[in-house]
Structure 1
Amino acid sequence: MQASAHASPRRVLTVLAALAGALACMLPLANGALAHGSIVDPATRNYGCYERWGDDHLNEAMAQEDPMCWQAWQDNPNAMWNWNGLYQNNVNGNHQAAVPSGTLCSGGNAENGRYSSMDTPGEWKTTNISNNFTLQFYDQASHGADYFRIYVSKDSYDPTSQRLGWEHLDLVKETGSYAPTENIDIPVNTSGYSGRHVVFTIWKASHMDQNYYFCSDVNFS
């Protein structure tokens, strides 16, 4: 008996349902990447890993060329795909309670520890900056900001061997509010820093009590 050349309506619906299910599994990652924001220059740890390796994250050369990103991709690729979802809700302004020392770069193990590899000390790739530099912030959802708080790690802190704690930070700038927009440039003036440091930024979004935590590895040159 010869098989029919046309698929039955039931089979077509079954195939379409399977495709819809597969797409639904992918959407949380895509929407997560579009819904929030991050510092893109100097690049945060997970944004930098996404930018450098997002289209080649299975390349084993990363282990030698960019070992901190390699350990991050191995730990949880979603930390990079969702590079702008590192936040905690309902902090009520008490950042030090919500984000204990040693977990600053993961936002206090935000999202059930998705970003925990960001806390790992090591030779993260750095961005060269001067003592007067500009933070470039990107937020496709245009939440606006109640404020940004920007810190620089102290000279006594070694990011290659220590997890970042509040005790390691100097507050160098706190901004006022920003109206909703996709791109915000924040000029930062410092003095006396040289060599490797971490710029740690808190973004308090305006649309709700949603608080983001960013670690950017820099080299003051």
Structure 2
Amino acid sequence: MYCHDRNKRARGGARPRRLSHFVSLLSVALFCLVASVTSAGTASAHGSVIDPASRNYGCWQRWGSDFQNPAMAQLDPMCWQAWQADPNAMWNWNGLYRNGSAGNFPAAVPDGQLCSGGRTEGGRYNSLDTVGAWKTTDIRGNFTVKLYDQATHGADYFLVYVSRQGVDPSKQALKWSDMQLVKRTDRYAPSQNYNIDVSTSGYSGRHVVYTIWQASHMDQTYFLCSDVNFV
């Protein structure tokens, strides 16, 4: 059922059914209102990698205005399972972080849980660890990670990893030993947009770019998986 076409569906029918149509229409309208408020309210906090898009940001970007479309199951099955598991993982695309990691990230985020930040936020983002053919962004050996920080937290540093050649993230859960560190930055002053230039070689095909953002305002760390295809 779609928010945008419910009015059309509710117009027909015999007179005795009008009350039931009205109740149904009202229910859908309330649902759409709640979804809109939730989406608007969460968009003002924290941030994420927007290019190459993190898993949940990409799902929100592609389907946020059409998240009830059953065609998603065939067109974008990894996003479909994520929306079914917990829509708030997409509405809160900018809230995938952990507090208090103290720089010991493998202790805070176990193998197999890298994309959910160690099942952070009560398991809201668990679906992002699901193994499968997530939609990819085409990139080259030299690429730029673009991160949006609406809360202007700043960064003590960024770490950018790429999954090793031969590791297929569409068939196996990611482990720390699968990841190669390709970039460590210095501090970034508070801003809303950060560009991290990365230079690599030897990668081809499907990989995951894994960005760790250590925010400056407190010990708050973001763990962000972006599915890419090196061309």
TM bucket normalised to smaller:
0.7 to 0.9
Give the secondary-structure state (helix, strand or coil) at the position aligned to 2:166: coil
Deviation at 1:157, TM superposition (A): 1.1
The aligned counterpart of 2:183 is 173
Alpha carbons 2:111, 2:176 under 8 Å: kept: yes
After superposition, give the CA deviation of every residue in 1:33-69 in whole Å (9 maximum; x if it has no partner): 3110100000000000000000000000000000000
Q: Distance in 2 between matches of 1:184 and 1:116?
A: 26
The aligned counterpart of 2:131 is 121
TM-score of the superposed pair, with normalisation by structure 2: 0.83
Q: Distance in 1 between matches of 2:128 and 2:215?
A: 21
Give the secondary-structure state (helix, strand or coil) at the position aligned to 1:121: coil
Matched, 1:112 2:122: yes
Q: Distance in 2 between matches of 1:41 and 1:152?
A: 15
How many positions carry a matched residue from both structures?
199
**Aligned AA (2:217):** H
Q: Distance in 2 between matches of 1:24 and 1:118?
A: 24
The aligned counterpart of 1:182 is 192
Q: Distance in 2 between matches of 1:27 and 1:165?
A: 36
Taking only the aligned residue pairs, the percentage that are identical comes to: 64
Deviation at 1:28, TM superposition (A): 6.4
Instruction: Mark the runs of 5 or more structure 2 residues left unpaired by the alignment.
Output: 1-32
Of residues 59, 76, 97, the one that matches 2:107 is 97
TM-score of the superposed pair, with normalisation by structure 1: 0.87
Alpha carbons 1:33, 1:85 under 8 Å: kept: no
Backbone CA RMSD of aligned residues = 1.5
Give the secondary-structure state (helix, strand or coil) at the position aligned to 2:44: helix
Alpha carbons 1:153, 1:170 under 8 Å: kept: yes
Q: Give the 3 Å change call, closer, same or farther, for CA 190–78 of structure 1 in structure 2.
A: same
Alpha carbons 2:138, 2:229 under 8 Å: kept: yes
Q: Give the 3 Å change call, closer, same or farther, for CA 25–53 of structure 1 in structure 2.
A: closer
Matched, 1:60 2:107: no
Of residues 200, 207, 230, the one that matches 1:220 is 230
The aligned counterpart of 1:199 is 209
**Aligned AA (2:77):** P
Q: Distance in 1 between matches of 2:35 and 2:106?
A: 35
Give the secondary-structure state (helix, strand or coil) at the position aligned to 1:35: coil
The aligned counterpart of 2:7 is none
Work out which of the two has the higher radius of gyration on C-alpha atoms and give 1 or 2.
Answer: 1
**Aligned AA (1:111):** E
Q: Distance in 1 between matches of 2:108 and 2:43?
A: 23
Q: Distance in 2 between matches of 1:213 and 1:156?
A: 22
More displaced, 28-37 or 209-218?
28-37
Alpha carbons 1:100, 1:108 under 8 Å: kept: yes
Instruction: Mark the runs of 5 or more structure 1 residues left unpaired by the alignment.
Output: 1-22
Q: Distance in 2 between matches of 1:97 and 1:103?
A: 11
More displaced, 28-37 or 117-126?
28-37
Q: Distance in 2 between matches of 1:28 and 1:81?
A: 7
After superposition, give the CA deviation of every residue in 1:97-139 in whole Å (9 maximum; x if it has no partner): 0000100000000101000000001010000000000011101
Matched, 1:82 2:92: yes
Matched, 1:210 2:227: no
The aligned counterpart of 1:50 is 60
